[in-house]
Amino acid sequence: MIHIREATEADLEAILGIVNAGAAGSRVGMEAGDVEVYRETFCRISEVPEFRIFVATDENGEIIATYQWSLFYSLTFQGRPRAILESFHSRADKRGQGIGAAMLEHAVAFSKEHGCCMIQLTTNKQRVDAHRFYARHGFEATHEGFKRML
């Protein structure tokens, strides 16, 4: 049984461990730095109501998965907001146990509560298993994304 809750600052080290373990492609090696490098950003995210970080914990209270949720407003879809998922990761040793599915269900419900018309996310092209996971849960690869590192 897992429990999904909003992250606290005390969760930061566990969150970073999970996210960094899932780094792929161009991000590998860019996530260096101790927890303190990220603390200010975590606090900023926590102060903005349209940004949330969630964690999933197991029966022992150990953090086993995480995702970041953002509310994005646009002058499309009759002005209805959309949700953006970022840093959606579970610990490698916990995959295949329904944790990701539960987190996605949580994200969908949370997004509906906030009036969102859709949820969108990006995933690294190298993460083929993640692509299959999202497709199984109703996500479609409708756009080609581009990024430019600065």
pLDDT in tens, 110-138: 999 999 999 999 888 888 888 999 999 99
Mean pLDDT of 10-24: 83
Q: How far, in whole angstroms, is CA 31 from its chain's centroid?
A: 16
Higher pLDDT pick, 68 / 38: 68
Domains of the chain: 3-136 (3.40.630.30)
Confidence (pLDDT) at 125: 86
Q: What SS3 string covers 86-102?
A: EEEEECHHHCCCCHHHH
Prediction pTM value? 0.90
In this predicted structure, the answer to whether residue 64 has a pLDDT above a threshold of 90 is: yes
3-state helix, strand, coil in the chain (%, to 5): 40, 20, 40
Q: Position of tokens 């987190």? A: 103
3-state secondary structure of 63: strand
Residue type, 96: G
Angstrom distance (rounded) from CA 7 to CA 38: 14
Confidence (pLDDT) at 121: 93
Of 24-33, 110-119, 139-148, the range with the highest mean pLDDT is 110-119
CA distances from 65 to 17, 79, 103 (A): 10, 32, 8
- Mean pLDDT for all residues in the chain: 89
